[in-house]
Structure formats: structure tokens, C-alpha cells
């Protein structure tokens, strides 16, 4: 698609709206589509030429009003592309990561009028507006409990037994890089020591701990205990921690002995993730476990007093609406404290080819139907949404939503997502986020475990 600009160059914003209608469209080659965006003193105009037809839309602009130029231009482009394609997007022109925060800002400025503005000026569907309202309500309690001048510690163990085909993380497979695990854990323990001393020095006591990855339970019992012991010595004995989460994403990495260790060393939350309960889909996406393995691991985990989380993904390759429904129903029947619904997100790092991505996107409504089903069913089963985020390259421009039962929400997820709390990161790929008056300063560790070991040894 060719983009032309007159009196403005909001390339990124215009592209983000174009991608809603023409996913993965190249912007540099002639494709018979030409979009010209012009900005005048009182209006923005979008002119779209495609298939020998032209579509034009003008958006009046009053600089005294709340709208930024960016919003007005996006609105003009959205309307002209909607007219040309006959398509719509449930999130309208809201393309950012945290739509609920935008709604909150509108609400603090316009009160009850926020809903009308969200739906009429940002073109957000009533269902997604309801979702934002529910998320803001759902996270209220956790936000009110946030201690000022406190922090979280994020510990990264970016290893998994094998790579899922859709994986967009930098996780290394233990099949290929398992030999560096002992050195990695030694260096990670040293960094935990360093980061917790820093938190103490900066008078930012650590109150939540999150061990993610990867699949941290891929560690054998000896390495796992070494890591847990370090966390106990540096964090639990030094600070008053109220939430300690450990990801056990792959059920096939959990054993009775590992669960006993996690409980003994004070873990309070555990994530056991099937992603789907359909064995055929599990095989297609390269997870080397079955739904039965998940049920076995979950039943074992249930014998400990952890708050359990289970993740599922809408739009997985070869999944169908009926099978997704069975996954949602199967998980709610287990009644975990949290259910996190993701929509398939495809990044370059994912081992799914471009043709496959194109096919998935062209398939259309399946992911939307799945997400709709989950968003309707989970509240009916007693779960409320409490965090919400969106990513680029997500099927059908959909969202990820964390659901919890009353009092079982993960505070780390809320604080981290909305940059409400300082985060100290340890391990490959971890990010330390320092809150400053004007924003957040990010200190990023090297991404890959191999380089982490090489650089720190
Ligand atoms: S379990 Fe998660 S981090 Fe590991 S390979 Fe699969 S998607 Fe990637």
C-alpha cells in the first residue's frame, strides 16, 4: 500500500489503522492501493484509491477540543477504509496496548459521557467498552492495596522442554541448550542477590515475586531447590512478600517432588497451562504433553494451597470453535482461581510460516467467536476480568484478558501491566523498570540465555 501525506506525517498511526483492514500489508510496494492523508487547519481528509474506486472522508478538527491531531487523522482513515472494505474492528481506532487506561482517562475527563465518546469517536464496540469498564472495576481493589514505594522482583528462567510452534518469546529449548542451565542458575542467583540489595538500597521493598520464562519448572529438583533457596534468603527473609508466583506452564515439567519444593519454599501462586484441551491441537502446536498430562499435573497441584492459574489461547492452529468451547468449559469445571485468555499472537520468532499466518488471518471469525465465548462464559462462571492488554499481530486484532475469582487476582500482573510499581528484573530477557516522575526508565538485560551466561561468566 502506498501512503502519502500532506501537511503531516503520522505514518505509524496511519499504518496501525491500515493493518486492521489489510493485515500484514506491505507499505512499500505498489498493490493498487493508495491512501492519501491531508491535514488542514480545520479538518483531516483521507482519500483511498482502490480497485479503480475512490473513497473520501473528512473529519472536522477543532484544536480547542480534546481530540489530538493523531486521533482525528486515525478517525478519518478508519472511516474511509471501513467504507471501502465493509469491515469493522471491535476496538475501532484504539490500537494501543492498554485500552482500559484510555477509557479511564476519558472517564476522568468526561464522566458518564466517556462511554459515548469511546463508542462514537473511537468506534469501540459496546461489548469491548463493557470489558474495559469491568476490567477497571476488577482491578480496583488490587490498586487500592498497592503500597507506595514498593517493588516487584521478576526472575526469568527462559528455558522450555521444547519450543511451541507459536512461541514468540526468546525461550531456549532444554533439548538444545540444557547444558548451560547449571551455569545460568548460578549467575541468576548472583543477580537476584544484586537486585534485591539494590531494592533495599533504593528503599523499594519487594512485595511481589514473579518467576516466569520460559517454564521455570523445567529445572531439575537440584537446580530448582537452589533457585528457591536463593529467593528465600534474598527476598522472603529480607522483605514482607505478599505474593509469590511461579510459572509451571508446561504440565509435563511438574512432578510431585517439585510441587512439594515449591510449597515448602513459600510459593503462593502457580500457573499450569494447557493452552487447549484438544490433544490434536496440542500436537500441532508442538507441545509435548496431552490434555491428560495437564489434568494429572493440575490434580497434583490442587493438593497444595496455591492459587492456581490456567492459560488458554484462542485461535490456535487447527482448533475449532467447538473444541475451544470444550477447553473453556473444561477449565471452568476445574474452578482455578485464575483463567487467562490469550489470543494467538504471531511474531517473527514464531515457527509458523508467513503463509500459515496469512491463512489464519484470512480465516476470519473463528478467533473472534472464541474470544466472545470466553468473555461471555467466564463471568457467568464467577470470574471477573481484571487485566487486559493487546499486542500487534494478534489474530483479528483481539485482546488478552486475565480473569479471577474474587480475591484471587494476581497483583503483580496489574502493577506490572500499568507501570504502577517499580520492577527489578533478573535473568536473560528481564527488564528492570524504574519509575520516574515523567515516565519509566527501562534497563534491559541481554535477551538470550546463552549470551547471559557468556557475558557474565
Ligand atoms: S511454553 Fe511458552 S515460553 Fe515455552 S516454548 Fe511454549 S510458548 Fe514459548
- Among protein residues, the one with the nearest Cα to ligand 1's atom 7 is 167
**Residue carrying C-alpha cell 472517564:** 107
Residue 157 confidence (pLDDT): 97
Residue 427 confidence (pLDDT): 98
List every span in the chain annotated with CATH 3.30.750.200. Answer: 142-456
Residue 231 confidence (pLDDT): 98
Residue 349 confidence (pLDDT): 44
Residues 141-167 have pLDDT tens digits of: 999 999 989 999 999 999 999 888 888
- Among protein residues, the one with the nearest Cα to ligand 1's atom 5 is 163
Compute, in angstroms, the gap from residue 171 CA to the centroid of ligand 1: 7
Kindly tell me the burial class for residue 186, based on how many C-beta atoms sit within 10 Å of its own C-beta (0-12, 13-18, 19 or more): middle
Strand partners, 422: 151
- Among protein residues, the one with the nearest Cα to ligand 1's atom 3 is 214
Q: Which of 156, 167, 342 best tests ligand 1's pocket when mutated (most atoms within 8 Å of CB)?
A: 167
Q: Which of 169, 176, 252, 273 best tests ligand 1's pocket when mutated (most atoms within 8 Å of CB)?
A: 169
List, for the chain, all residue ranges whose pLDDT scores fall below the cut of 50: 349, 351, 354
Pick the CATH number of 1-88 from 3.30.160, 3.40.109, 2.60.40, 3.30.110: 3.30.160
Residues 77-89 have pLDDT tens digits of: 999 999 999 999 9
Secondary-structure class of domain 142-456 per CATH: alpha beta
Compute, in angstroms, the gap from residue 97 CA to the centroid of ligand 1: 21
Q: Which grid coordinates belong to 122?
A: 473511537
State the closest ligand 1 atom to the C-alpha of 162, by its place in the atom list counted from 1: 5
Residue 163 confidence (pLDDT): 86
Q: What is the phi/psi pair of residue 216, to 5°?
A: -55, -25
Residue 338 confidence (pLDDT): 98
Ordered DSSP codes for 142-190? HHHTPPTT-EEEEEEE-EESS--TT--S-PEEHHHHGGGHHHHHHHHHH
Cβ of 163 less than 6 Å from ligand 1? yes
Compute, in angstroms, the gap from residue 286 CA to the centroid of ligand 1: 10
Q: Do 383 and 405 form a contact (C-beta atoms < 8 A)?
A: yes
Cβ of 214 less than 6 Å from ligand 1? yes
State the closest ligand 1 atom to the C-alpha of 213, by its place in the atom list counted from 1: 3
Cβ of 184 less than 6 Å from ligand 1? no
List every span in the chain annotated with CATH 3.30.160. Answer: 1-88
Compute, in angstroms, the gap from residue 357 CA to the centroid of ligand 1: 18
Compute, in angstroms, the gap from residue 320 CA to the centroid of ligand 1: 21
Cβ of 250 less than 6 Å from ligand 1? yes
Question: Using omega within 30 degrees of 0 as the cis cutoff, is the peptide bond preceding 214 cis?
Answer: yes
Compute, in angstroms, the gap from residue 212 CA to the centroid of ligand 1: 11
Q: Do 336 and 308 form a contact (C-beta atoms < 8 A)?
A: yes
Q: Which of 219, 249, 312, 317 best tests ligand 1's pocket when mutated (most atoms within 8 Å of CB)?
A: 249
Amino acid at each position: 500500500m502506498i501512503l502519502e501525506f500532506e501537511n503531516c506525517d503520522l505514518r505509524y498511526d496511519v499504518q496501525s489503522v491500515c493493518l486492521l483492514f489489510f493485515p500484514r500489508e506491505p507499505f512499500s510496494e505498489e498493490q493498487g492501493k493508495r491512501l492519501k492523508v491531508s491535514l488542514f487547519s480545520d479538518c483531516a481528509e483521507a482519500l483511498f484509491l482502490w480497485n479503480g474506486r475512490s473513497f473520501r472522508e473528512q473529519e472536522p478538527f477543532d484544536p480547542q477540543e480534546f481530540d489530538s491531531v493523531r486521533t482525528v487523522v486515525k478517525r478519518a482513515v478508519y472511516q474511509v477504509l471501513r467504507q471501502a472494505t465493509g469491515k469493522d474492528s471491535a476496538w475501532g481506532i484504539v490500537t494501543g496496548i492498554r485500552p482500559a487506561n484510555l477509557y479511564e482517562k476519558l472517564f476522568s475527563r468526561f464522566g458518564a459521557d466517556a462511554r459515548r465518546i469511546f463508542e462514537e469517536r473511537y468506534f469501540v464496540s459496546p461489548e469491548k467498552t463493557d470489558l474495559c469498564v469491568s476490567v477497571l472495576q476488577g482491578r480496583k481493589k488490587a490498586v487500592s492495596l498497592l503500597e507506595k514505594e514498593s517493588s516487584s522482583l521478576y526472575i526469568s528462567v527462559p528455558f522450555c522442554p521444547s519450543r511451541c510452534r507459536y512461541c514468540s518469546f526468546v525461550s531456549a529449548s532444554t533439548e538444545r541448550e540444557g547444558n548451560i542451565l547449571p551455569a545460568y542458575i548460578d549467575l541468576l542467583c548472583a543477580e537476584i542477590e544484586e537486585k534485591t540489595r539494590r531494592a533495599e538500597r533504593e528503599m523499594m521493598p519487594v512485595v511481589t515475586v514473579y518467576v516466569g520464562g520460559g517454564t521455570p519448572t523445567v529445572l531439575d529438583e537440584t537446580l530448582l531447590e537452589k533457585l528457591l533457596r536463593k529467593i528465600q534468603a534474598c527476598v522472603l527473609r529480607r522483605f514482607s512478600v505478599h505474593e509469590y508466583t511461579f510459572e509451571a506452564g508446561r504440565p509435563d515439567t511438574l512432578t510431585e517432588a517439585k510441587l512439594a519444593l515449591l510449597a515448602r519454599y513459600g510459593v503462593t501462586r502457580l500457573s499450569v497451562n494447557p493452552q487447549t484441551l484438544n490433544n490434536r491441537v496440542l500436537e500441532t502446536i508442538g507441545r509435548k504433553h496431552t490434555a491428560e498430562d495437564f489434568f494429572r499435573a493440575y490434580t497434583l497441584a490442587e493438593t497444595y494451597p496455591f492459587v492456581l492459574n490456567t492459560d488458554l489461547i484462542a485461535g490456535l492452529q487447527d482448533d475449532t470453535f467447538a473444541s475451544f468451547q470444550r477447553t473453556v468449559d473444561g477449565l471452568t469445571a476445574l474452578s482455578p482461581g485464575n483463567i487467562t485468555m490469550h489470543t494467538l499472537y504471531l511474531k517473527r520468532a514464531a515457527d509458523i510460516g508467513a503463509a500459515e499466518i496469512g491463512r489464519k488471518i484470512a480465516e476470519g471469525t473463528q478467533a473472534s467467536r472464541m474470544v466472545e465465548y470466553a468473555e461471555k462464559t467466564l463471568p457467568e462462571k464467577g470470574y471477573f476480568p481484571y487485566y487486559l492488554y493487546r499486542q500487534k499481530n494478534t489474530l483479528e486484532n483481539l485482546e488478552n484478558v486475565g480473569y479471577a475469582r474474587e480475591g484471587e487476582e494476581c497483583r503483580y500482573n496489574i502493577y506490572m501491566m500499568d507501570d504502577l510499581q517499580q520492577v527489578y528484573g533478573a535473568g536473560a530477557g528481564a527488564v528492570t523498570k524504574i519509575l520516574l516522575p515523567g515516565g519509566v526508565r527501562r534497563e534491559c538485560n541481554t535477551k538470550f540465555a546463552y549470551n547471559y551466561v557468556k557475558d557474565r561468566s
